[in-house]
Chain A
Amino acid sequence: MSRKLLASILIVIVVGALMIAPVAAQGRTVVTWFVGLGTGTNEQQIEIQNQVVADFNASQDEIELVINLAASNQVAADTLSTLIAGGTPPDIVGPVGFSGANAFSGQWLDLQPLVDAAGYDLSQYPESLVGLYQTPEGLLGIPFAVFPSLMFYNADLFDEADLNYPPAEFGAPYVMPDGTEVPWNWDTVAEIAKILAVDANGNDATMDEFDRTAVEQFGFAHQWGSMRADFSTFGGANFYDAETGQVTIPENWRANAEWTWNALWNEGFMPNSTYENSTLFAPTLFASGRTAMARVPLWYTCCIGDLDAAWDIAVVPAYGDGSYAPTDADTFRILESTANPEAAFTVLQYLQGEAALDLVTVYGAFPALPDIQEESIAIKAEQFPSVQNWDIIVPSLAFAVAPNHESDFPNFNRGQQRFADFRTLLYGDTGATINLQEELDKLQADLQAIVDEAN
């Protein structure tokens, strides 16, 4: 090869490399914000997030905020793992809940030194919420958004069945069709859900003719539930004792499993996996307009979609002497591997401050910051005019389950997968014939083996 040709090739390579050089050549510190581990990947959210990024970049000239969106929530954890393993981790991750964060346990930056250095005022948040993020590794997050579990109900379906709506106040009774007042608890939910579950022939689940293989409307569903969240509707539990290392599935969780199995396979007012994946219940169970009640955290308002029915929210039912509202809590976290912690914290303050209202609105969240809660509710009321009971959100926070249903434990990822496998077993076709108590014992034994592996 001639020297001229070799030189030409080298010049082409160098010019090409310069053309694809990063924008950092302009002098700003680049901070990457990864979205998708929690919510944040639907079209409307992407639009708002991009606007937040553009507004931040326009407001100052020291930091270039770049957003990195996962293709979907389903692949977000994989994507983030790949970025970390590949040596190109983002700086900020969020919004992310405890479950998503625990999947990357040990990799979050302690924010306390940054809070102290910046003089950030944590007292503007309720102390209990700040406490959620105080861990042995330090302050790993600042409260941003909370999502208490609520009972979403389809008012039109209740009207059709001539039933009263669920109560909008903790401790208030439910009024049955015959006028009798009964406690608003999971037994009552089962009773009215049977009336609301209807098959293709118009029979409801209280009738002998009810055909469980041809249901067209269900009475209740744990919309997008996880097993620990479903269990926690009957009360929280430290299933893993950190002191003794023992795993125990408590009696209240077993009671919840029994109630669920009965609803799925005996009474038939809850949809199993086959129905959940059926086109009849697209896009989601409640949003299809064919499920009368759904227990789901507040973030579900992000995804109600085009539900063409009047709907509202009610308080979660009681179990025993208490009411238990499994509560999700999302925030933004900074990875320990960040090369620019101060710049990342500056961005974090912006997301938690000036951008907070826009973001919580599009995430369907309730802001942890009391100052913007009223405005947030006003925006929601405008978005969803059929909903009257927004004032149950704050009281529901008081019934947040402790410990949180996404709390960490050894070998968290494998343990969560085991809980997911149990839920699949319960809701899947084999659920009808399983020996529930045996499967719960097996779950306990498997979880014990999983935590022992890590200890």
Chain B
Amino acid sequence: MTIAQNTSTAGVSSAQARRGERTIEQRQRVWGWVFLSPWIIGFLAFTLFPMLASLYFSFTDFRIGEPITFVGLRNWQRLFEDANTVNALGITFRFALISVPIVIGFPLLLATLLNSKVLLAKPIFRVLFYLPYMVPAVSGIFIWQSFLNGQTGWLNRLLRLVGIAEPPNWLFDPRSLTFGLVLIGLWGVGNAMLTMLASMQGVPTELYEAAEVDGATPFTKWLRITLPMISPVILYNLVLSVIGLMQYFIVPYVLSNTTRSNPETNFFNLNLYRTAFQFGEMGFASAQAWFIFIIALVLTIAIFWTSNRWVYYSGEGR
């Protein structure tokens, strides 16, 4: 190819190049950046720069209305010394240990039910199970708060009707608070259920047929075929659940505002929020924010690291 042809292929004649005009490709690239720029500006202004600022604040004694002073690692050290913070971390992890299996297992069971051949009117059930996910969070919490009230809530009235004389005080008794919060959390499993159902419906039917020929029971088929085939979606929901738990805030915040600061609802993010906006200790709150981010990151990396052993991607050699 001649130099002239090469130039022609690039779309710029030597005359054009001398005038400083751009090629079509270059113009398209510029327009691409122009259309991306609002998002980029927003990301820089509202995400990246604030993150970097909070990282800096975590090394300072920044209190509302007072000058900022550098204090080194004092805030980070205080994470392990402050009783409220340690307690809040314990409450969060305790809740996570109980709720994560439930918020993964329950939508899995619902998806299995909706994927079943014997269930009639599946579209209706699909809508009904997904609908609560669309209810605004705060409204849902108020409804649940009323439903779970120990004296006049509908759940306890039903339990008393069936003979349970002293049902749990779901949102006030520390022994049952976690389960009360899990119940509230189950309101939002619609999304996980839908993704798992979609994944189940993508499992090749010949696998089930082959298993039937070998005499597999329905449970064996579910355990040995369905679960491995949808394991990537389970991984996806697991990661989202763990991250969501590290961000768990709106439920305890609404409950604590209406149930007079129940210490048992002092989850890590609520404690962080109080540290920042109630106690005005922005520096310490920034350290807390980065701490929970690091924990979430470590947990997510650990989940991905273990996924080699239990997640099956079709097309892989395993």
Q: Which residue of B lies closest to A335 (CB)?
A: B65
A280 contacts B151, C-beta separation under 8 Å: yes
Chain A hits for B273, CB < 8 A: 78
Q: Do A274 and B150 contact each other (CB < 8 Å), given the known contacts A420-B260, A424-B261?
A: yes
Chain A hits for B262, CB < 8 A: 273, 424, 428
Q: Which residue of A lies closest to B152 (CB)?
A: A278
Chain A hits for B66, CB < 8 A: 106
Chain B hits for A215, CB < 8 A: 151
| B259 sits at the interface (CB 8 A) | yes
What does DSSP make chain B's interface, helix, strand, loop or mixed? loop
A277 contacts B258, C-beta separation under 8 Å: yes
Which residue of the partner chain, among B153, B261, B277, B282, contacts A420 with CB atoms under 8 Å? Answer: B261
* Interface bits A376-404 vs B (CB < 8 Å: 1, else 0): 00000000000000000000000000000
Chain B hits for A423, CB < 8 A: 260
User: How distant is A455 from chain B, measured CB to nearest CB, in Å?
Assistant: 16
B259 contacts A413, C-beta separation under 8 Å: no
Q: How far is the CA of A429 from the CA of B264 in the complex (A)?
A: 11
Q: How far is the CA of A273 from the CA of B150 in the complex (A)?
A: 10
* B-contacting residues, A1-40, CB 8 Å: 1
B263 contacts A81, C-beta separation under 8 Å: no
Which residue of the partner chain, among B152, B258, B261, B278, contacts A413 with CB atoms under 8 Å? Answer: B278
Chain A hits for B27, CB < 8 A: 1
Q: How far is the CA of A215 from the CA of B151 in the complex (A)?
A: 9
A280 contacts B64, C-beta separation under 8 Å: no
A279 contacts B261, C-beta separation under 8 Å: no
User: How distant is B34 from chain A, measured CB to nearest CB, in Å?
Assistant: 8
| A435 sits at the interface (CB 8 A) | no
| B169 sits at the interface (CB 8 A) | yes
A273 contacts B172, C-beta separation under 8 Å: yes
| A427 sits at the interface (CB 8 A) | yes
Chain A hits for B151, CB < 8 A: 213-215, 274-275, 278, 280
Chain B hits for A249, CB < 8 A: none
Q: Which residue of A lies closest to B273 (CB)?
A: A78
| B146 sits at the interface (CB 8 A) | yes
Q: Do A279 and B260 contact each other (CB < 8 Å), given the known contacts A274-B169, A429-B169?
A: no
Q: Do A84 and B64 contact each other (CB < 8 Å), given the known contacts A274-B151, A424-B263?
A: yes
| B173 sits at the interface (CB 8 A) | yes
User: How distant is A142 from chain B, measured CB to nearest CB, in Å?
Assistant: 22
A279 contacts B172, C-beta separation under 8 Å: no
Q: How far is the CA of A217 from the CA of B282 in the complex (A)?
A: 45
| A302 sits at the interface (CB 8 A) | no
Q: How far is the CA of A82 from the CA of B282 in the complex (A)?
A: 11
Chain A hits for B65, CB < 8 A: 84, 104, 106-107, 337
User: How distant is B252 from chain A, measured CB to nearest CB, in Å?
Assistant: 13
Q: List residues of chain B with CB under 8 Å of any chain A CB.
A: 27, 30-31, 34, 64-66, 145-146, 149-153, 166, 169, 171-174, 257-263, 273-274, 276-280, 282
21 intermolecular pairs with C-beta atoms under 8 Å apart: A1-B27, A78-B273, A78-B277, A106-B66, A107-B65, A273-B260, A274-B149, A275-B151, A276-B260, A277-B149, A277-B258, A278-B149, A279-B146, A413-B280, A417-B274, A420-B260, A424-B263, A428-B172, A428-B262, A429-B150, A429-B169
**Closest 3 A/B residue pairs (Cβ):** A429-B172, A78-B277, A278-B152
